[in-house]
Chains A and B, each alone.
Chain A
């Protein structure tokens, strides 16, 4: 199952000194069973830990994506959309997977599957032995849906005040972090359902 889904900024490799890696949206499905914290403000500490775990993942994904971009010799301008009409070729987008050891930063060992589309990074934090093929497919699907339904390619688009739509997509395509085996027709059906409930 998926433990968390996040969307964050991806800066061009040379732009590392400018700004920070920002988590634009994150959703944690369930919670880690942390040992009881007898100190006061235990709940706040737990939340802080969760946010920092997500940020740590985002930073690692950004770094992996930048390294991959550099290694493959793609120009950094690849990160900017050329035009909003061209469909983004998701199958060629940089992607990868890496392992997170136990304790660093999650209690359990986990696997991260990530995808970089233009200047956004999408990542799924999975349990250690998940079906990676399915996870990759789901991540591509989510990215495609988000790009389409939130019109992220249009100039000036952002997803900071669009949490309801993002949640609408997640609740259908990744409910409670469950990866679904959806064939094309099922995806179409769900997408129609979503479009009907959320007219653009």
Chain B
């Protein structure tokens, strides 16, 4: 479709030079000045449109040409095609400072609408929106039955009201309210006439048009709505469609209270008191002022739509429209109840019945969301079981319909937008996170940012651990959902059934299961695109999770999470690239946890020792290992936790020494990749730090460090990288050795007291660390020089 020809056409349009454009403009001007505006003019204008729209930079068109475009647009005799093109070109050029277009004298409503579209695109620097609004109002308020069709003007009115809500004052709004009532409620219920092609005086020999019908073919039972059908439509029926289409925006923007978002307390009080004074019937509606009358008719319209949406439509297009109408009806009712709480009583009974009806209909799920929204908005005032509604919504819908991209988006948007309103139901939302994650696992690209915003409200102390496991297993969930959709055989295997059930649970269970067997089983699916996309999103989500958790975490939870990180870092679903990116996040978050609760190193000493001593440390990847080692060096000291014993320090020392030995002596193999130099240097530094605290260890460290200084590389494995790495290791070993020659300095450097974060330690030349280090180095080197050999 987008052939090379089109690409070159675009290119030509962009590259056209000023001179050529000037010539073209004069050609266009000539064509537009002709009496007879033929196909040449249309052709030229199409090209001009392409030239103007093809580039994001301004095109300087000749003034005569632009003026002619404007006059042609306003010519009463101009054919539609050219009008549209002139309007389109002028719109494409907007905002345009020298526009002289004005809507005041245009009689033809279709032309007026086109001119308005150009004016509204100018950006309202010269009150264009207001002028257009007032002009349109003028035409709409006049009641000429034989006048031009008002159809083109209602959308303009709607646009003006949403761009500049204060354009019309209350009197004008009331006039329009009255007309809207006519169009909404009193449109003809007879089908339109078929106009024969005879002249003005010939009598139309069409059949008598019958009444309009409902979408299921039955004769219409009540007033005309957008769900009424027929062969042809009258003007007022068209206006009915347009009036309903703009109704919600009109109600919102034309009401002096605006959206009616009064204080929740005030509102529920008002709603509570109004309910005891019922006004269930609309018999006195004719006496109501225009705004209230419009609301009344809007209410009736919505009720009728709800009834009509229950019919079985004959055509698919109508069935789809029924659902859209249902959503809109609920949304309009919500606005009405917010603006006038006296509607609440009538609305509630109607909507409760609707809810029951929809719960049994799987195809109407999209309409459940605005319904839930309604109950959340107004649930305080009446004893509605919004909890049951939320339960149903969160428990059933995601499990069944996670694969629909637009439902997923709407559902999550619903959650995000209503967080302040959930109130008691927030716990339902929080406990349903496994179900919500299904949307995310299946549709990660559009939903990742939504979840990042949602996570702080989803996670709390009770669910944090379970949620972290769930996030780490998200790609696994994607694979499981894929399996669920395509075949159920895998779930029948009793060995895995329990685990699958856990993974696909709808609510937080409060327990955790180790899903390693599932990781293996689902390994073949790890290279699916959908799984890979989910895996890419997880690091971002993890960061959002930890950022949220940091707001409320206490010592116990921090310890739990730290252990979780250690454990899970070697037990991840093997999606290509996933492990590495998750390790990066986990290692930095581990350090953040340690920084927040330094005593965790002492409290979890046993587990950390196991991690360092076993092979898990090596399998967990360099970044994780580095973090744990560094944290040990930093926080395993009496300064941070008085319970730290010399014995503990010694134990850690031994473990780290053994680790370092293994890493530097063993040959790289397929399972144990060559260790990055950062790990080696971190290990050496940590060993030195520990030695500075338990000074009996100093000789051992010194021995080790001396060996490291003479670290040689086997010729077979040397490379540039390695050379650099080995050099870094040697340098670090030397520095550490120097420091150890002055134990008290070493202690100061490696185990600074907490006061060291005070600025004076760094400003005072006597205590500044870099200076101290320099001095030490120089002293030691001098000393070495003085020694023989």
**Chain A residues close to B by CB (< 8 Å):** 1, 9, 19, 22, 24-34, 36, 43-44, 46-48, 51-52, 55, 63-64, 67-68, 70-73, 81, 95-99, 101, 111, 113, 118-120, 127, 129, 131-134, 136-137, 152-153, 156-158, 160-164, 167-168, 171, 175-187, 189, 197-198
Mostly, the B contact residues are helix
* CA of A63 to CA of B155, assembled, Å: 32
CA distance A47 to B80 in the complex (A): 26
Contact of A160 among B10, B121, B215 (CB under 8 A): B10
- Contacts of B121 on A, CB cut-off 8 Å? 28, 30-31
Q: A158-B3, A161-B47 are in contact. Are A98 and B85 (CB under 8 A)?
A: no
Q: Cα distance A120–B125 when bound, in Å?
A: 35
- Contact partners of A177 in chain B: CB under 8 A: 155, 159
Let me know if A156 and B328 touch, CB within 8 A.
no
Q: A47-B94, A137-B321, A163-B46 are in contact. Are A183 and B1 (CB under 8 A)?
A: no
B227 within 8 A of A: yes
Specify the chain A residue showing the minimal Cβ separation from B409: A97
Nearest neighbor of A31 in chain B, beta-carbon distance:
B123
5 more contacts with CB within 8 A, not counting A158-B5, A182-B226, are A31-B95, A33-B123, A133-B320, A175-B152, A175-B155
Cβ contacts A to B, 29 pairs, < 8 Å: A22-B10, A30-B159, A31-B121, A31-B122, A33-B124, A44-B57, A44-B58, A67-B533, A73-B530, A97-B446, A101-B449, A113-B406, A131-B328, A161-B46, A163-B50, A167-B84, A168-B84, A175-B155, A176-B120, A178-B154, A178-B155, A178-B159, A180-B245, A181-B321, A181-B328, A182-B241, A183-B228, A183-B229, A185-B233
**What residues of chain B lie closer than 8 Å to A28, measured between beta carbons?**
91, 121
Nearest A residue (CB) for B79: A197
Pairs A-B, 9 closest by C-beta atoms: A51-B56, A71-B530, A178-B155, A176-B155, A98-B446, A181-B226, A96-B405, A175-B155, A70-B529
Contact A158 B84 (CB under 8 A): no
Q: A71-B529, A131-B328, A164-B46 are in contact. Are A119 and B1 (CB under 8 A)?
A: yes
User: In the assembled complex, which residues on chain A have CB atoms less than 8 Å from the CB atom of B129?
Assistant: 30
- A1 in contact with B159 (CB, 8 Å): yes
Note all chain A residues with C-beta closer than 8 A to B57: 44, 48
Chain B residues with CB under 8 Å of chain A are 1-3, 5-7, 9-10, 13, 42, 45-47, 49-50, 53, 56-58, 80-81, 84-85, 87-88, 91, 93-97, 113-114, 116-117, 120-125, 129, 152, 154-156, 158-159, 162-163, 215, 226-233, 241-242, 244-246, 249, 315, 317-318, 320-321, 323-325, 327-328, 331, 366, 405-406, 409-410, 413, 417, 443, 445-446, 449-450, 528-530, 533
**Nearest A residue (CB) for B48:** A163
Q: Given the complex, which residues of A lie within 8 Å of B242, measured CB to CB? A: 178, 180
Given contacts A96-B405, A156-B3, A183-B226, contact A43 B97 (CB under 8 A): yes
Asked if B42 and A48 make an inter-chain contact with CB atoms under 8 angstroms apart, the answer reads no
- Contact among B6, B159, B229, B528 with A158 in the assembled complex (CB-CB below 8 Å): B6
B122 touches A120 (CB 8 A): no
Give the residues in chain B near A168, CB-CB below 8 Å. Answer: 80-81, 84
Q: How far is the CB of A156 from chain B (nearest CB, A)?
A: 6
Residue of A nearest to B154 (CB): A178
* B409 interface neighbour in A25, A31, A34, A98, Cβ under 8 Å: A98
Cα of A190 to Cα of B28 in the assembled complex, Å: 31
For residue B408, give the distance in angstroms from its CB to the closest CB of chain A.
9
Query: A52–B56 Cα gap in the complex (Å)?
Result: 7
| Closest Cβ neighbor of B42 among chain A residues | A164
Tell me how far the C-beta of B435 lies from the nearest C-beta in chain A, rounded to whole angstroms: 20
Report the separation of the CA atoms of residues A45 and B58 in the bound assembly, to the nearest whole angstrom: 9
Pair B227/A183 contact, Cβ less than 8 Å: yes
Say whether, besides A119-B2, A156-B3, A167-B88, A29 and B95 are in contact (CB < 8 Å).
no
A71 to B403: give the CA distance in the assembly, Å: 11
A179 CA to B58 CA, complexed, in Å: 31
User: Would A132 and B410 be within 8 Å (CB), given that A1-B159, A168-B84, A185-B231 are in contact?
Assistant: yes
A133 near B327 (CB under 8 angstroms)?
A: yes
Report how far A81 CA is from B1 CA in the complex, Å.
Answer: 8
Contact B241 A186, beta carbon cutoff 8 Å: yes
Contact B117 A176 (CB under 8 A): yes
Q: How far is the CB of A180 from chain B (nearest CB, A)?
A: 5
- With the chains together, A177 CA to B159 CA distance in Å? 8
Q: What's the nearest-Cβ distance from chain B to residue A9, in Å?
A: 5
How many Å lie between the Cα of A73 and that of B527 in the bound state?
Answer: 12
Enumerate chain A residues within 8 angstroms of B117, measured Cβ to Cβ.
29, 176
Across the interface, which residues of A come within 8 angstroms of B94, CB to CB?
31, 47
- Contacts of B317 on A, CB cut-off 8 Å? 183-184, 187
> Are A64 and B124 interface neighbours, CB within 8 A?
no
Task: Quote the shortest CB–CB distance from A76 to chain B (angstroms).
Answer: 12
B2 touching A164, Cβ below 8 Å? no
Rounded to whole angstroms, the CA-CA distance of A28 and B228 in the bound complex is 31
What is the CA–CA distance of A22 and B1 in the complex, to the nearest angstrom?
13
Q: Are B6 and A179 in contact (CB under 8 A)?
A: no
B366 touches A133 (CB 8 A): yes
Q: Shortest distance in angstroms between A80's beta carbon and chain B's nearest beta carbon?
A: 8
- Bound-state Cα–Cα, A67 to B117, Å: 36
In contact, B327 and A178 (Cβ under 8 angstroms): no
Q: Do B9 and A181 touch (CB < 8 A)?
A: no
**Shortest beta-carbon distance from B140 to chain A in Å:** 14
CA distance A176 to B228 in the complex (A): 24
Do A189 and B233 touch across chains, with their CB atoms under 8 A apart?
Answer: yes
Give chain B nearest CB distance to A116 CB in angstroms: 12
Whether A134 pairs with B327 at a CB distance below 8 angstroms is yes
The listed residue with most A CB atoms (<10 A of its CB), out of B2, B53, B81, is: B2
B766 to chain A, nearest CB (A): 51
* B91 near A27: Cβ-Cβ < 8 Å: yes
